[in-house]
Amino acid sequence: MFSPAARAALKAALNEDVGPGDKTSNFLVPSSAWGSAVLVARESGIFCGGPVIRELLRVTDRRLACGFFVSDGKPFRKSKILARIQGPVRGILKAERTLLNLLGRLSGIATLTREYVRRVSRYGTRILDTRKTTPLWRELEKYAVRTGGGKNHRMGLYDEIFVKENHKAHGRLGRLSKIPRRFFMEVRNLRELKEALVLKPRVILFDNFPPARLKGVLKLARRSDPRILLEASGGIHLGNVARYARLGLDQISIGRLTHSPKSVDFSLLIEK
C-alpha cells in the first residue's frame, strides 16, 4: 500500500527508539514469553493507521499479529478497545511507543480533517492539504488527510507546475501561455489576478485574502473564465472556513491539517 520510502521511514522510526536493543524488556522478559495487548482510546476521534501499524509490526517481528475492531476513517469513542496485538511480548514492547506515536499523529490529522470537511459539506467545497508536512512522513500524513475525507494537493515539487510568489521575481511567466490549463497560479492582489486570467491556469489560488476582499475578486474570476478552479489558502481555520466556503470556492487548502493537528491519545496495555 505504501511506497518503499514510506516503509523505510517506518523502519527508521522504530530503530530510532530501539537502537541496539530494548534493554529493559531484554533483561526482564523471557524471550519465550508470548502474550497479547489491547489498544485503548483515551479520547474520541477518527481512526487512521491500520495499514501503517501492520507494516510496523511486520518490521518489528513477523510473528506479531494484529486484529482491528475499527477501520480507517471510522469514528471511535473514548475507552473503546480498538485493536488486539498477539505474539512475542518482547516484540509488542519494542513496537509500543513508535506505534502509539504514529497512530496518535495520523488519527489526529484524520480527526481534524473530518471536522473541516464537515463544516463545508453543505457548500460542496473540497478541503485540501499542503506540503507543510513532517519531513519524510508526507506520504503517511497525506494518507491521513484522505482518511479524514480531505483531498491531497501535490505530493511534491515534481507533481505540478505551481507558480508562487517566489517564482515571479526571476521566472519567465510568458512561458506559461504555452501550457494553458495545465498549471496552478497563486495570486495576492487584483493585479496578479488579472495577470493570471490572461495566462489561463487550471487553478487560481487566492493567498491570504480576507473573506470581504475575496468575494469581489471571485466574481471577477468567474465572469472572466468559469472553467478555472478557484482556491483559497492562508488564515483559514475552523472558525471561519464555512464563511470562506459559502463564497463559492471550489477548494480550500489548509496547512494546519498536517503542521499543527492535536494527536489523539491511545494506550497499549499488555493483557495478563
Predicted TM-score (pTM) of this structure: 0.96
Residue 168 catalytic?
no
Residue 207 catalytic?
yes
Q: In total, how many domains does the chain have?
A: 2
Buried b (16+ CB within 10 A) or exposed e, 120-133: beeeebbbbbbbeb
Query: 102 and 212, same structural domain?
Result: no
Residue 77 catalytic?
no
Residue 164 catalytic?
yes
Gap between the Cα atoms of 188 and 221, Å rounded: 14
Query: 167 and 109, same structural domain?
Result: no
Query: 127 and 113, same structural domain?
Result: no
CATH assignment of the domain containing 56: 3.90.1170.20
Active-site pick, 55, 96, 186, 192: 186
Query: 180 and 75, same structural domain?
Result: no
Q: Which domain holds residue 147?
A: 121-259
Query: 143 and 95, same structural domain?
Result: no
Query: 62 and 136, same structural domain?
Result: no
Residue 78 catalytic?
no
Question: Which triple of cell numbers denotes residue 77?
Answer: 469513542
Task: pLDDT tens for the chain, 272 residues: list them.
Answer: 789 999 999 999 999 999 999 999 999 999 999 999 999 999 999 999 999 999 999 999 999 999 999 999 999 999 999 999 999 999 999 999 999 999 999 999 999 999 999 999 999 999 999 999 999 999 999 999 999 999 999 999 999 999 999 999 999 999 999 999 999 999 999 999 999 999 999 999 999 999 999 999 999 999 999 999 999 999 999 999 999 999 999 999 999 999 999 999 999 999 98
